[in-house]
């Protein structure tokens, strides 16, 4: 829609072109705030994860089993030394060795099973999160997409969700296993030797908590910045790839490379900050673990010299100390991924929490509308303080054709944007068959509106699938009939596989005119009560345009139609022509009436068809865009 953004600051037309829109990427890469609500984010993740109760229960049981085996192993080593090695009991040593071997084998099996079960639970959880995010994107208003880079939204759907997946698949097991292991090891240490256990636990816990208080906030902030910078870079990449033809046409590769380099440097800077602080965690936790071992060895040796403990107990305690420190090391390694996942989850939930398009309570669902459309003193602005439509009033009787003409940026497309409720009006009232459209269910309203846009969008898939997009239950015969009516059947048959030809992304293997014909066929098949044609013939040659106009006349019979056109030849037969400039209807009437008025419309017509200069002294000012 060329005038969809009409009325915005400065130009009141489309957003800035490709090169001006690189701005949003770098702007997003500025200083980002710290995580706003870590606990709330974790609770919401848990809300998704607990749907997998069965898998969680099984995993917990398996983790409990491995924890018990981990706790038993050092105790068996203690008994092997004190009861069998020092006394020289070889049969007893062989027996306890076999028991230890069995414990290790069972531990390995249970560990594999818990990873297997938890991986499935994590994938199902992430599937639910991704579904909720994509579902939310489908119900958000267009205003939301106006203000966000598409690449950033894609990054949230892919990178951010994948970060969550990695933590759920691997991290949950490590967290639960680590917590249970630390509790079990601490209990075993206290049971074997309370004094030595107290020294070991207090030393390790104190150093760990102190380290965490210093590293945690810095790491979390760094990963938030990294995720935001990555999303901005993805947005810039997506925009550049989509606009590659324009980049090459205007030889803007140097500018694109410069902007990409700046965005890439910002991502490197943000990622470096995050990784530097994250890199402290592993070495520092290793130091804490080694200090714990040193404490156990030193205090245990001193107690052994005093006869307060045995050599086997010291050996067992050293193993327990390693087990007590190992979960801390694993959690330290996992901590970086956890911070990244929390940052990603926060970005995902920020989109899920966006308010969706909403219908009024008790919104009606009309079976079939007749097509009487009334705009009653409608005012609208895309941005506060910059009016786009001012006191617009019009009436279209059922079956009438209303043409909207005027300069670019005047507000023509905005009128149909309001009729389809892509945007909500600020003041006034729009009714269909006497019913305020705000009281009509949006899906039902749009289902009865057929729209052919100037910028045709086709999806990857077959030609047949794209024509059927507006009515999924259509038969193949109905598809062919719609294509024939739109004058598309002939070129479709010339395609390699006819109606089953696969279209590439954005249908780049078709010409712009062919894409427009398919869009018209799609609208014909949908059989709408109200038809909206936004420069529907702008990209076809004169001969094809004549065929399309004939098809359109048949299509518009019995339907209320709004036709936006710059080529006035396409609207001469309209029941009423509305001339719009600066967001106001300045003239209205039939083609003959407007020519007789010798005003703005007559000047436009003269400019297009008689090659004469614009002859009204005030016309040059009127031609300024709104």
pLDDT in tens, 238-273: 777 777 767 776 667 888 888 888 888 888 888 877
- 190-219 residue pLDDT tens: 887 787 777 777 766 776 666 666 666 667
Kindly indicate the confidence band of residue 540, based on its pLDDT and cuts at 50, 70 and 90: low
Statement: residue 614 has pLDDT above 50: no
| Mean pLDDT estimate for the chain | 78
pLDDT at position 8 is: 38
In 10 A of CB 216, how many CB atoms? 16
Structure-model confidence comparison of residues 573 and 435, the more confident one: 435
> What stretch of H or E contains 111?
helix 90-139
Measured in whole angstroms, how far is the alpha carbon of residue 293 from the centre of its chain?
Answer: 48
Q: Residue 535: left (phi > 0), alpha (psi -120 to 50), or beta? A: left
- φ, ψ of residue 154 to 5 degrees: the values are -65, -40
Give residue 325's pLDDT: 66
621 pLDDT above the threshold of 90: no
Which tens digits make up the pLDDT trace of 27-51?
Answer: 333 333 344 677 888 888 888 988 8
Give strand pairing partners of 589. 577
**Distances 6 to 10, 145, 387, 479, 552 between C-alpha atoms, Å:** 10, 16, 9, 35, 27
What number of other Cβ atoms are within 10 A of residue 66's Cβ? Answer: 21
Residue 162 has pLDDT above 70, yes or no: yes
- Residue 373 banded pLDDT, cuts 50, 70, 90: very high
CATH number of 453-527: 3.40.50.300
Q: Identify the pLDDT of residue 237.
A: 80
CA distance 502 to 266: 40
38-351: in CATH 1.20.1560.10: yes
Q: 308-341, pLDDT tens digit by residue?
A: 767 677 777 777 777 776 776 677 667 767 877 8
Q: Look at residue 181 in the predicted model and tell me its pLDDT.
A: 77
Output the pLDDT for position 275.
73
Section 56-77 average pLDDT: 83
Report the pLDDT averaged over residues 535-547: 64
pLDDT of residue 215: 66
pTM of the predicted model as reported, rounded to 2 decimal places: 0.67
pLDDT exceeds 60 at position 1: no
What are the residue ranges spanned by the domains of the chain? 38-351, 453-527
Q: What is the mean pLDDT of residues 122-140?
A: 89
């Amino acid at each position: 829609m060329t005038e969809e953004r009409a009325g915005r600051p400065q130009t009141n037309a489309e957003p800035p072109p490709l090169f001006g829109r690189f701005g949003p990427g770098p702007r997003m890469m500025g200083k980002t705030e710290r995580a706003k609500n870590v606990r709330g984010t974790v609770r919401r993740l848990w809300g998704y994860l607990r749907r997998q109760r069965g898998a969680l229960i099984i995993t917990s049981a398996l983790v409990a089993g491995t924890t018990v085996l981990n706790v038993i192993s050092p105790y068996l080593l203690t008994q092997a030394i004190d009861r069998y090695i020092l006394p020289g009991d070889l049969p007893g040593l062989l027996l306890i060795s076999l028991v230890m071997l069995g414990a290790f084998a069972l531990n390995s099996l249970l560990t594999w099973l818990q990873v297997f079960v938890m991986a499935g639970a994590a994938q199902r959880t992430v599937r639910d999160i991704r579904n909720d995010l994509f579902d939310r994107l489908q119900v958000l208003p267009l205003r939301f997409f106006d203000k966000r880079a598409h690449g950033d939204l894609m990054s949230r759907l892919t990178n951010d969700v994948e970060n969550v997946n990695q933590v759920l698949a691997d991290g949950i097991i490590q967290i639960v296993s680590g917590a249970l292991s630390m509790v079990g090891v601490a209990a075993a240490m206290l049971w074997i030797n309370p004094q030595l256990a107290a020294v070991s636990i207090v030393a390790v816990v104190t150093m760990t908590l102190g380290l965490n208080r210093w590293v945690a906030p810095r790491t979390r902030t760094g990963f938030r910045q990294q995720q935001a910078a990555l999303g901005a870079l993805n947005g810039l990449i997506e925009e550049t790839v989509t606009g590659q033809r324009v980049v090459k046409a205007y030889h803007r590769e140097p500018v694109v490379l410069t902007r990409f380099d700046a965005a890439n440097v910002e991502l490197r800077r943000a990622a470096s900050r995050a990784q530097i602080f994250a890199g402290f965690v592993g070495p520092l936790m290793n130091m804490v673990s080694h200090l714990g071992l040193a404490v156990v060895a030193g205090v245990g040796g001193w107690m052994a010299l005093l006869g307060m403990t045995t050599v086997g107990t010291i050996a067992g305690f050293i193993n327990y100390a390693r087990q007590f420190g190992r979960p801390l090391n694993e959690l330290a390694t996992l901590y970086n991924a956890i911070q990244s996942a929390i940052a990603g989850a926060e970005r995902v939930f920020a989109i899920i929490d966006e308010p969706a398009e909403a219908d009024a309570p008790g919104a009606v669902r009309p079976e079939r509308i007749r097509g009487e459309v009334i705009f009653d003193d409608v005012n609208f602005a895309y941005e506060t303080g910059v009016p786009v439509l001012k006191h617009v009033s019009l009436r279209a009787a059922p079956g009438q054709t209303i043409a909207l003409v005027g300069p670019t940026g005047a507000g023509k497309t905005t009128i149909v944007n309001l009729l389809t409720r892509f945007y909500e009006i600020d003041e006034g009232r729009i009714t269909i068959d006497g019913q305020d459209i705000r009281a009509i269910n949006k899906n039902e309203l749009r289902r009865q509106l057929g729209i052919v846009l100037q910028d045709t969008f086709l999806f990857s898939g077959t030609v047949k699938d794209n024509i059927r997009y507006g009515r999924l239950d259509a038969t193949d015969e109905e598809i062919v009939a719609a294509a024939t009516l739109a004058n598309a059947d002939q070129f479709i048959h010339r395609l390699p596989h006819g109606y089953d030809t696969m279209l590439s992304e954005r249908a780049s293997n078709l010409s712009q005119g062919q894409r427009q014909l398919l869009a018209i066929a799609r609208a014909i098949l949908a059989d709408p009560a109200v038809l909206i044609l936004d420069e529907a013939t702008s990209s076809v040659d004169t001969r094809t345009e004549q065929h399309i106009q004939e098809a359109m006349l048949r299509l518009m019979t019995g339907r209320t139609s709004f036709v936006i056109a710059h080529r006035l030849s396409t609207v001469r037969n309209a029941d009423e022509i509305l001339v719009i400039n600066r967001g106001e209807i300045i003239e209205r009437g039939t083609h003959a009436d407007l020519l007789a008025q010798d005003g703005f419309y007559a000047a436009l017509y003269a400019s297009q068809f008689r090659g004469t200069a614009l002859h009204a002294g005030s016309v040059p000012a009127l031609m300024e865009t709104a």
